[in-house]
Structure 1
Amino acid sequence: MKLKSILTSALAAYLLSSCGQTVKTDQTDFNNCWTFHLVKDTANFNTDYSKTDNETKNWENVRLPHTANIEPLVVNNQWQGICWYRKTFNISDYSKEKKYFIEFEGAMNIIDIWINNKHIKRDMGGYLPVTADITNHVRAKENTICVRLDNRDNPITGPKPLKILDFNMYGGLYREVNFIEKNNIYISNPSLVDIEAGGGVFITYPYVDAKMSEVKIQTHIINEGAKDKKATLKHIIRKGNEVVKEFSIDINLPNGKEGVTSCNTVSINNPSLWSPANPSLYTLQTIISDESGKEIDSQTNRFGIRKFEFKDNQLYINGEKTYLRGVNRHQEYPYIGYALSDNAQYRDAYKIKKAGFDYVRLSHYPHSPAFMDACDELGLIVVDAILGWQYYADNDEFRNQCYRSAKQLIRRDRNHPCVLAWEVSLNETKMPIEFMEVLDNIVHKEYPGENVYSCGWMPQVYDIYFQARQHRILHKDEMKFDKPYIVSEYGDWEYYSNNAGLNQHKMPKNMRVEYSSRQFRKDGEERMLRQARNVQEAHNDNMNIPATGDGYWVMFDYNRGYHDDIEASGVMDIFRIPKFAYYFYSSQRDITNDSDCILKIASYWDKNSPTDIKVYSNAEEVELRLNGRLIGRQKPDNDKNSTNLKHPPFTFKIDEFEKGELKATAFNKGEKIKEESVFTPEPPVKLDCEIDISGKELEAGCNDVAFLYISAIDRNGTVNPEYTKSINIILPDGIELMNKDEVKAEAGIATAVIRIDEERGSKKIFVNDGEISGEIDICIK
């Protein structure tokens, strides 16, 4: 990942002899030149590929991140089983006086690691880093690392078996792998040293105020040399390129693996405080030098100074009362499962922020470090979760796995300013009180001090009560508590299961689809408007209770193990294309300048369209015209489902359909600030192509993946929602199509998932359906 702790002088210099690639000393990338083998018949497989003399000539050459299996769009039978990875490498400056580590950011689920035929580590869990000290197992000449993964159902890690699971757990080395070289005096890795509230660099904020704030820096340093040493520890705090604070201290380092912890607190005058509206970040550079002044290790961490506190159970960020409008997220992409590039992770976070959300719940497992970095940058508050969903095993192996995961999660993410709370709870699972008490204690022991919060879906024990709206409707007695409260999920299940209790009565099951929030774009305007009405009603209702935030279920459509279709309650589909509900949420953000105005006509305006026109906007007034004729200029709606909304939608009534142009104009303080038009769709004449950038340009050399949107447009540039043809795509060398199925349009837009290889520069993509065509020039940096 790009913005993790940067290990400068400690990074490896190594030659990947299997592909002739030389990796320089200023990077950790260990992602190239792996070979991969998927075991087809796991039950009858007994070959031990950990032995370097076993034949692997038919293995596939891959670059990480990598998914074990390319799945179809609708995943009815996700692959589970055993797969193998292997890589050879040389360490060009090998020394017995140095330390060598390998770090896997994500490997599903049980991982076994061999170095040069020797088994060195087994781990499990799938979502948190696995780091191994390989110092005593590598050599100057060629080395071979072999990895065996097993993502079959696991009773120790949980959750429920895939066949009854509401999400998928895709296999592979699906995040980055880092090779780390250090001198024998070094800043430790918190996941390896296993020190409570310790290890590595730990940054906290004992006092936060706009005039002056304190930053506490705790650094753990190990001396594995033969003798005790003296060294200098230097900290440099920067805001951009400006040095804000710089100081050094002398330290004594006795030899041994226990290490020494240095704690230092500094004050920063007039700090720029981190918040969703102002995601201001500082950089801490930590440098260790020997007695001669030579730098022997360094590390860079980003941090943001902020204070989360609750007063009368309401959230205050840096003293300002804040309601968190949020959403839940699953981390999968179509076809490639979890194997997103770091850039793709950023693009997801960018979309969440653009959709009007300031908070995201990471459901129901730890997400990528790259996604956490993006949340820091963009100002997205995070609730960070351990793995858990409707599963508890009453044995010590399972409980200890949960305890260990909670510790490792906090040690990985504790320096991220975006983290509000730690969801050390097994979602929708009946848990013993004693179990919850241990998890809650882990949070406060691993992150001691004030303004640190655990949260869970049961009202007992945890600092913050996380309750889904459907549970609140069915179990009103659970509202009797005195603690901060966040609506963890809403807007989906209560409508899907017909227990919303508000705008719908019990109805026949065959009407469930029509009234559900689970609507595909292909289902048409009426269905997408139904979803948008549901989420408006539910979000409005959430503000009738003493909640300090809510999280809609869910941001993106996703696959799940227990059902044979895609779960479609997302405000964007699985390809990240918006539905009408997206614009409801984006319109809830206030306008700070004219470019922030949201104006969306939620209509295709064809002969089958509703004649009650919904317009989503955060403007004070909206005017609607049909073919130049004024339909009305009005304030936002004032109905029972808009009473608590910052910016209710606008509803205009038109007597009958008339082909042509609907034009909306937004006004603030009487001044026109934005216009939007919708034209009745005509037959398509062109395929219009667009690459989804979402804040990150396409990048070579990192297995970057992105969406190519292909829209069938008419002479007015209007997408024709009736268009459903298959698309032929002609890609240049260096770009790979990841779709396992044909690329077929849904509601006028077809989507290809493309992967970028090592080649930079300008390229051209051509598309056609046999009758109309299109092309796009793209630039890969």
Structure 2
Amino acid sequence: MKPFRTLNSAPRRLARTTPATTPTTAPTPALATALLTTLALAAMALAGSAQAATTSLNDAWQFHRADGKQAAGATAGKVPAGAWSTVSLPHAAHIEPRVPTAPWQGTVFYKKTFDAALKPGERAILRFEAVMNVADVWLNGKHLGQHLGGYLPFAFDVTGLLKAGGKNEVVVRANNEDNAITGPKPLKDLDYIQHGGMYRGVSLITKPAVHITDEMLAATPAGGGVFVTFPQADKTQATVQVKTEVANTSKAARTVTVRNTLAWQGKEIARAEQKVTLKAGERRHVTMPLKVGQPQLWSPQAPNLHVLDTSVVGEGAGAGGGDSVQTRIGIRRLAFDSKHKLVLNGEPLQLRGVNRHQEYPHVGYALSPQAEYRDALLVKKYGFDYIRLSHYPQSPAFMAAADELGLLVIPGVPGWQYFNKDPAFSKQVIKTCEDMIRRNRNHASVLAWECSLNETDMPDAFVDTLHKTVHTEYPGDQAFSVGWLPRSYDIYMQARQHRIGDKHALPDKPLIVSEYGDWEYYAMNAGFNQGAWSDLKPADRSSRQLLSQGEKHLLQQAANVAEAHDDNFTTPAFADGYWVMFDYARGYAPDLEASGVMSIDRLPKFAAEFFRSQRSPEQVAPKATPQWGGGPMVFIASYWTPESSPRVRVFTNAEEVELRLNGKTVARQKAAPSSTHPRLKHPPVEFDTGAFQAGELVAVAYTGGKAVAEHKVRTPGDAVKLDVALDEMGVPPAVGDLVFARARLVDASGTTVPQSGQAVTFTADPGYEVIHSPQATTEAGIASVLVKVREPNGTLSAAAGKLQGALAPRSTAAE
């Protein structure tokens, strides 16, 4: 979170596509079904479109980083033969230290040879899911074009450029240096990092002469590809309207049937089709409704997803059998009532949310689809149903996970306190808004579109254009623009520190608290200009607390979070978003921004448990995705060591809590509103334990007089070993996956010893590649390294002096 300083979904294409990676262990049947669905979709999101035939081009790239003087005027042809290394996608251009002090920027080259054999009349599309930030692409020596912007897909029709039955070479030059046209501000002044490289997938899509167009290549407002909307939807009936662009690239007229089939849990529930005749070279949109009785609606509580199959069939489709696109959709309707409160499927919905940067330590944005899914799981697990994707469009794999887990999201265009008067800049922002909607428009998870430059003064006419762009790209009443300025946008998004400073009066429209809980405590003011505040308050009053800083600091962060979240209920906001989910690195400071409720290594702080306690105990994870839990909970925010506060804070969503110390009841208290938290539905409960006594604290939560949840903490003894594990979160690692390995200090009873700063060395066989360094230090008793999976049954061990530990062999009983 920071102050103001002046100066879609693309269809999830499933046809004829095999995921590039396969889990090596089988989870429970329900979970296995969910994982197969999600990881297949995520793999295809990474690989790109998969329509009539999709070939992943993610493996066996040659890579070269042009550092220093060599970067000036560099071309792939000038790179010495021995200077290339072999890599696979997603790929980070530079492996950063955990805390980057000088994040890398520059030029990199990628090249790959591949075979391609087109049948007569077929088309070929080369699609890139994202390359940071300016990408030039050549195929067989011909420059296909340049793409500006590092977060969205782009594609080229390469039909006439492929060598039939021969070797084809694609070359990419990518540059992530400061760019005045794409923005945002220069890295040295930026609150995050635009990590370089080809960090998402590349694919070659072949299509018959009569085919469904690619939504990015078509570049058609509210068109191209498959576009699904819901003109009407309630518990009794829904209309699913499918708009499909079909192209005939042959030299003769063709008559085909465009068919839409909707399935729920594998069973067809609706079908519609239409015969069309296309002239040679004609492109046409075909729109048809499907009626669904008693539909299974999508919501954060019940994220029901249907599969829509859109196909082009018939004799006119050609010998290849036509084209087919499958799209995962959620049937739902959004609205706002007379008080500007959100209504979903006719029911009021108050959203508790968080902001997210998509980076991992070391690899930046180059996450595996499984890693993206685990991030979404963490967001859901710790009590959130809404995410603001700050401050740029994020991965298709993450969007697919949000659909499945029931997370509403706000995608945004890249922007942070930067505006350029050059017309080329405005044009680029508008195009990014268009492309973002085209890629994400079919995702059930999209709440609104942030086509607004974050914390940036923008000209009124430009704001008006961005608002209109949202509604041009997504006509009807189910698209909402959102921005940080009160004019034009459908929804006003205001940070808490801006409210404190009365930067803008509230307009008569729906309100979201975009960010809160960080800057107002870091600077202890409304702080619209970071550079003007050099006399900041002591660090122990801040929300920026590393996990390693200990119990006192983590409790301070949790107190700030609870106070700020409570204060948001004094506004008419229908949603708020804490800043931020995960600690992250940034360009303008050689440290981690530590206001995350989880560390950069995805370990929870006490504040994460506070948010988990704010979820209704009646909200429980469905059988398909049980990993995030839900239901009644209780958590003791203490390590219970001699240094711990005798005033013990407990988070719960139950009615009352009993705290026991060594078997004796300290007290039993109701979770009642207080002067500190008068508005929270589930306020924290505090207990005075008196003089410290080593042993065991037990919190028992009660609702309706019945015990519904329990949590224990024990005074740790001396560490006797390391407990080593992969933090899979129920998502089995697969080849190419990125997953955190943990080494936990434990005493003789298995209790975590919450010591920070203990050096740990990890040792792995070739099955697991430790990224950056095998050395790590513990935070709250846990050391973490990021590993890339080469073979899921690899071995991994850790040592800290005389303390040892090793990864247990993976179970194959369920295989």
TM-score normalised by structure 1 residue count: 0.94
Deviation at residue 94 of structure 1 after TM alignment: 2.7
1:261 matched to 2:285? The reply is yes
Cα distance in 1 between the residues matched to 2:237 and 2:440? 25
Aligned in 2, Cα 1:12/1:720: closer, same or farther, shift over 3 Å? closer
Deviation at residue 30 of structure 1 after TM alignment: 1.3
Deviation at residue 26 of structure 1 after TM alignment: 6.0
Cα distance in 2 between the residues matched to 1:582 and 1:8? 39
Contact kept, 8 Å, 1:11 with 1:181, in 2: the verdict is: no
2:803 to 763, 772, 776: 772
Cα distance in 2 between the residues matched to 1:189 and 1:725? 52
Contact kept, 8 Å, 1:340 with 1:705, in 2: the verdict is: yes
Residue type at the aligned position of 1:524: G
Contact kept, 8 Å, 2:673 with 2:679, in 1: the verdict is: no
Which residue in the other structure is 1:527 paired with? 553
Contact kept, 8 Å, 1:498 with 1:512, in 2: the verdict is: no
Q: Mapping of 1:439-588 within 5 angstroms? A: 439-475=466-502, 478-499=504-525, 509=535, 511-588=537-614
Match of 1:466, SS state, is: strand
Q: Mapping of 1:296-335 within 5 angstroms? A: 296-311=322-337, 312-335=339-362
1:143 matched to 2:150? The reply is no
Deviation at residue 639 of structure 1 after TM alignment: 1.3
Residue type at the aligned position of 1:447: Y
Aligned in 2, Cα 1:551/1:42: closer, same or farther, shift over 3 Å? farther
Deviation at residue 44 of structure 1 after TM alignment: 5.5
Cα distance in 1 between the residues matched to 2:333 and 2:124? 37
Match of 2:471, SS state, is: helix
2:744 to 695, 711, 714: 711
Which residue in the other structure is 1:279 paired with? 303
1:722 to 755, 760, 777: 755
Cα distance in 2 between the residues matched to 1:446 and 1:44? 39
Match of 2:464, SS state, is: helix
1:375 to 375, 379, 402: 402
Deviation at residue 217 of structure 1 after TM alignment: 0.3
Residue type at the aligned position of 2:716: P
Q: Cα RMSD between the aligned structures?
A: 2.3
Match of 2:808, SS state, is: strand
Cα distance in 1 between the residues matched to 2:316 and 2:247? 19
Q: Percent identity?
A: 42
Match of 2:431, SS state, is: helix
Cα distance in 2 between the residues matched to 1:277 and 1:81? 44
How many aligned residue pairs are there?
758
* Greater Cα offset, 657-666 or 590-599: 590-599
Residue type at the aligned position of 2:506: K
Deviation at residue 290 of structure 1 after TM alignment: 2.9
Aligned in 2, Cα 1:10/1:74: closer, same or farther, shift over 3 Å? closer
Contact kept, 8 Å, 2:498 with 2:526, in 1: the verdict is: no
Aligned in 2, Cα 1:712/1:563: closer, same or farther, shift over 3 Å? same
Which residue in the other structure is 2:15 paired with? 8
Which residue in the other structure is 2:32 paired with? none
Which residue in the other structure is 1:754 paired with? 787
Residue type at the aligned position of 1:736: E
Which residue in the other structure is 1:89 paired with? 114
Aligned in 2, Cα 1:298/1:24: closer, same or farther, shift over 3 Å? closer
Deviation at residue 220 of structure 1 after TM alignment: 0.1
Deviation at residue 690 of structure 1 after TM alignment: 2.4
Cα distance in 2 between the residues matched to 1:733 and 1:98? 42
Cα distance in 2 between the residues matched to 1:223 and 1:146? 30
Cα distance in 2 between the residues matched to 1:395 and 1:723? 50
Residue type at the aligned position of 1:104: F
Cα distance in 1 between the residues matched to 2:154 and 2:766? 35
1:454-509: CA deviations, max 9, x gaps?
00001111000000000000016x233100000000000001011279xxxxx994
1:202 matched to 2:227? The reply is yes
Contact kept, 8 Å, 1:10 with 1:180, in 2: the verdict is: no
1:604 matched to 2:628? The reply is no
Aligned in 2, Cα 1:417/1:226: closer, same or farther, shift over 3 Å? same
TM-score normalised by structure 2 residue count: 0.90
Deviation at residue 512 of structure 1 after TM alignment: 3.1
1:419-439: CA deviations, max 9, x gaps?
010000000000000000000
Contact kept, 8 Å, 1:10 with 1:296, in 2: the verdict is: no
Aligned in 2, Cα 1:59/1:217: closer, same or farther, shift over 3 Å? same
Which residue in the other structure is 2:716 paired with? 681
1:292-332: CA deviations, max 9, x gaps?
78621111001111111011211011111111100000000
Aligned in 2, Cα 1:129/1:508: closer, same or farther, shift over 3 Å? closer
Residue type at the aligned position of 1:460: R
Cα distance in 2 between the residues matched to 1:42 and 1:456? 41
* Greater Cα offset, 56-65 or 447-456: 56-65
Contact kept, 8 Å, 2:383 with 2:614, in 1: the verdict is: yes
Which residue in the other structure is 2:678 paired with? 643
Residue type at the aligned position of 1:649: P
Aligned in 2, Cα 1:248/1:588: closer, same or farther, shift over 3 Å? same
Cα distance in 2 between the residues matched to 1:709 and 1:324? 32
Match of 1:555, SS state, is: coil
* Greater Cα offset, 328-337 or 623-632: 623-632
2:444 to 412, 417, 430: 417
Cα distance in 2 between the residues matched to 1:193 and 1:213? 29
* Greater Cα offset, 31-40 or 133-142: 133-142
Deviation at residue 223 of structure 1 after TM alignment: 0.6
Cα distance in 1 between the residues matched to 2:359 and 2:189? 18
Cα distance in 2 between the residues matched to 1:9 and 1:599? 46
Deviation at residue 742 of structure 1 after TM alignment: 2.3
Which residue in the other structure is 1:175 paired with? 200
Which residue in the other structure is 2:416 paired with? 389
Which residue in the other structure is 1:669 paired with? 704
Deviation at residue 511 of structure 1 after TM alignment: 3.5
Deviation at residue 12 of structure 1 after TM alignment: 14
Which residue in the other structure is 2:665 paired with? 630
Contact kept, 8 Å, 1:50 with 1:114, in 2: the verdict is: no
Deviation at residue 776 of structure 1 after TM alignment: 1.5
Deviation at residue 727 of structure 1 after TM alignment: 1.7
Deviation at residue 27 of structure 1 after TM alignment: 4.8
Cα distance in 2 between the residues matched to 1:348 and 1:448? 32
Aligned in 2, Cα 1:279/1:648: closer, same or farther, shift over 3 Å? same
Cα distance in 2 between the residues matched to 1:131 and 1:692? 36
Aligned in 2, Cα 1:217/1:238: closer, same or farther, shift over 3 Å? same
Cα distance in 1 between the residues matched to 2:432 and 2:419? 15
1:567-609: CA deviations, max 9, x gaps?
0000000001000000000011111269622211100111111
Cα distance in 2 between the residues matched to 1:497 and 1:228? 68
Cα distance in 2 between the residues matched to 1:12 and 1:272? 28
Residue ranges of structure 2 left out of the alignment (5+ in a row)? 1-8, 21-49, 528-532, 621-628
Residue type at the aligned position of 1:133: D
Deviation at residue 5 of structure 1 after TM alignment: 2.4
Contact kept, 8 Å, 2:673 with 2:680, in 1: the verdict is: no
2:91 to 62, 66, 70: 66
Cα distance in 2 between the residues matched to 1:682 and 1:9? 56
Aligned in 2, Cα 1:669/1:599: closer, same or farther, shift over 3 Å? same
Cα distance in 2 between the residues matched to 1:90 and 1:129? 23
